[in-house]
Chains A and B, each alone.
Chain A
Amino acid sequence: DIQMTQSPSSVSASVGDRVTVTCRASQDISSWLAWYQQKPGKAPKLLIYAASRLQRGVPSRFSGSGSGTDFTLTITALQPEDFATYYCQRTNRFPLTFGGGTKVEIK
């Protein structure tokens, strides 16, 4: 199975900071990648699909980039509501797999 590795596992940041989360696939997955945000006790929320396409209703401070094996989720000007855990997900073939998650914490 293709493994998805996220880094860092956690990051401390302040409101207004730029935050970057990385996701690496163990094999080429083209642009078959999605990003989700999850807050404690809540279901995940789709942010980005096809590596770089912003889901409708998601603020433009979120962006995704990359293709092949290396992908990035960037949050520009972090807002208080952005403190959460972020997951990448490979979407190209079964079994579908998620990265281990990156927790964005308040510094």
Chain B
Amino acid sequence: QVQLVESGGGLVKPGGSLRLSCAASGFTFSDYYMSWIRQAPGKGLEWISYITSSGRTIYYADSVKGRFTISRDNAKNSVYLQMNSLRVEDTAVYYCAGDQQLANWFDPWGQGTLVTVSS
């Protein structure tokens, strides 16, 4: 079945780095644009990054620009989020999500991975 599975979350100190991965299965990954969306504890949803199927076009939210890098490997059916210079306010569940219609709405979603930034 269609599935996205995130991994790589955990506890990291402020200023540290983490790399999140999202593995796709059950669909043609290279047909999908992909995004990362996060949700701080008890808060709403925040879109943070987007990459087209070729990887040639990338966007970031201002809150992560210059610190986070999105990438993908279509041969491995995976999308990644390299997070550097992490801040306490980056603490959130991070979801990867796909966009087959290429219209910026999201389906499917992964189950999420928790990133906690704390000293």
Residues of A within 8 A of B (CB): 32, 34, 36, 38, 42-46, 49-50, 55, 87, 89, 91-92, 94-101
- Is the CB–CB distance between A49 and B103 below 8 Å? yes
**Roughly how many angstroms separate A54 CA and B109 CA in the complex, as a whole number?**
17
- Is the CB–CB distance between B103 and A91 below 8 Å? yes
Residues of B within 8 A of A99 (CB): 44
Q: How many A-B residue pairs have CB under 8 A?
A: 56
Chain A nearest CB, measured from B25 CB (Å): 16
Residues of B within 8 A of A (CB): 35, 44-47, 50, 59, 61-62, 95, 101, 103-107, 109-112
Residues of B within 8 A of A96 (CB): 35, 47, 50, 104
Chain A nearest CB, measured from B13 CB (Å): 26
